[in-house]
């Protein structure tokens, strides 16, 4: 939730800076970078304060992943050669999971973030709303999007405060149902650009429909995002049934960062190809004579090529000279 709150604050600050520095972009970038740095430093400071200067102990959370040596001596713990489980007098078993075993347990929340990112980040904001509306009509949608992004974390925060989200249980796997409306939004946003289907064409230049689609996608992603990160953490650290392999947590963090960057670059590549082929507002009339099948493969191949080229340009870009 704090991440989305900081994004909302940054967005509001950007609106103020747009009024103050209308024709000079460099001061806006510098001030926004300073603001983001201060927010990150404040967040890190609060994290250290929470863990080291306050009593934040959780009785349901195991104090250590290692067995107590006193209990080990009294219970005559016998560990198997594989290191897969620990038996205390034949009564208590604490399994030590390998990386693959831990990954299997946390697979559902592990992939939630990537599913939401693929269905939403690849079409927002390049297709919805900016490809389907004029820039002036997109202002209201940009104001509503941060609210939708904050809804999921806020709901989960309330549930956790009320004790309804202390542990991960199979009922939270139902969050995958959010991918159904998100898939519909994803498909129809592309159909409105590339097809002549009446129901899809009605979306073009229709702000209420584009607003509803954007809000639906952002709302679903606002649940998939925090459920993924918190779900993996809860399965690894709150569960007392096994000792997890912490490499899964690191793999999840790296995977989410990579998939988000990959989807952002795919969005850039797709929009470059779309514009070059003539699929632009308001009529989306192509400037080529390729068949639908050839167009599909051309767009697919060129999207990846443009995405790779854009990623390379990021590494070589001098922001000061660019501005």
What pLDDT score does 54 carry? 59
For residue 81, whether the previous peptide bond is cis, meaning omega lies within 30 degrees of 0, is no
Confidence of residue 83 (pLDDT cuts 50, 70, 90): very low
Measure the CA dihedral 259/296/183/306, to 10°: 30
Strand ordering across the sheet containing 92-96: 78-79, 85-88, 92-96, 242-243
In the structure encoding, which two tokens stand for residue 148, read together? Answer: 């939708």
What is the average pLDDT across 232-246? 82
Has residue 80 got a pLDDT over 60?
Answer: no
d(CA 207, CA 130): 11
What is the average pLDDT across 286-302? 91
Q: Where are the domains of the chain?
A: 1-56, 59-96, 100-261
What pLDDT score does 79 carry? 42
d(CA 220, CA 115): 10
Residue 232's CB is within 10 A of a number of other CB atoms, namely: 28
- Under a CB-based contact definition with an 8 Å cutoff, are residues 305 and 269 in contact? yes
d(CA 274, CA 61): 51
In the structure encoding, which two tokens stand for residue 155, read together? Answer: 């709901």
What pLDDT score does 93 carry? 66
In percent, how much of the chain has pLDDT > 90? Answer: 39
In the chain the first and final C-alpha atoms are separated, in Å, by 32
- Under a CB-based contact definition with an 8 Å cutoff, are residues 239 and 167 in contact? yes
Mean pLDDT in the chain? 82
The whole-model pTM stands at: 0.74
Has residue 207 got a pLDDT over 70?
Answer: yes
Contacts 24+ apart (CB under 8 A), 172-179: 172/109, 172/227, 172/231, 173/108, 175/112, 175/223, 175/224, 175/227, 176/108, 176/112, 176/115, 178/116, 178/219, 178/220, 178/221, 178/223, 178/224, 179/115, 179/116, 179/119, 179/220, 179/224
- Under a CB-based contact definition with an 8 Å cutoff, are residues 132 and 192 in contact? yes
More confident residue, 239 or 63: 239
Confidence of residue 318 (pLDDT cuts 50, 70, 90): confident
């Amino acid at each position: 939730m704090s991440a989305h709150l900081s994004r909302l604050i940054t967005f509001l600050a950007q609106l103020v800076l747009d009024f103050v520095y209308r024709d000079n972009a460099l001061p806006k970038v510098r001030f926004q970078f300073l603001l983001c740095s201060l927010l990150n430093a404040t967040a890190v400071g609060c994290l250290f304060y929470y863990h080291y200067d306050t009593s934040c102990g959780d009785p349901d959370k195991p104090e250590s992943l290692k067995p107590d040596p006193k209990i080990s001596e009294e219970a005559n713990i016998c560990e198997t050669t594989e290191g897969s489980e620990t038996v205390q007098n034949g009564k208590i078993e604490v399994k030590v999971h390998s990386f693959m075993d831990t990954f299997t347990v946390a697979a559902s929340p592990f992939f939630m973030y990537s599913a939401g990112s693929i269905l939403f980040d690849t079409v927002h904001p390049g297709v919805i709303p900016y490809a389907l509306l004029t820039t002036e009509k997109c202002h209201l949608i940009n104001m509503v999007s941060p609210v939708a992004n904050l809804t999921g974390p806020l709901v989960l925060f309330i549930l956790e405060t009320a004790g309804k989200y202390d542990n991960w249980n199979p009922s939270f796997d139902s969050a995958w149902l959010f991918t159904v409306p998100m898939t519909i939004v994803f498909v129809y946003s592309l159909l409105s650009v590339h097809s002549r289907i009446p129901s899809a064409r009605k979306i073009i230049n229709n702000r209420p429909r584009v607003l509803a689609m954007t809000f639906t996608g952002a709302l679903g992603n606002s649940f998939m995002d925090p459920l993924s990160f918190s779900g993996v953490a809860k399965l690894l650290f709150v569960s007392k049934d096994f000792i997890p392999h912490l490499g899964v947590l690191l793999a999840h963090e790296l995977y989410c960062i990579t998939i988000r960057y990959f989807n952002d670059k795919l969005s850039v590549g797709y929009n470059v190809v779309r514009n070059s082929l003539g699929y632009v507002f308001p009529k989306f009339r192509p400037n080529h004579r390729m068949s639908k099948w050839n167009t599909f493969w051309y767009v697919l191949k060129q999207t990846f090529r443009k995405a790779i080229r854009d990623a390379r340009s990021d590494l070589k870009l001098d922001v000061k000279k660019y501005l």
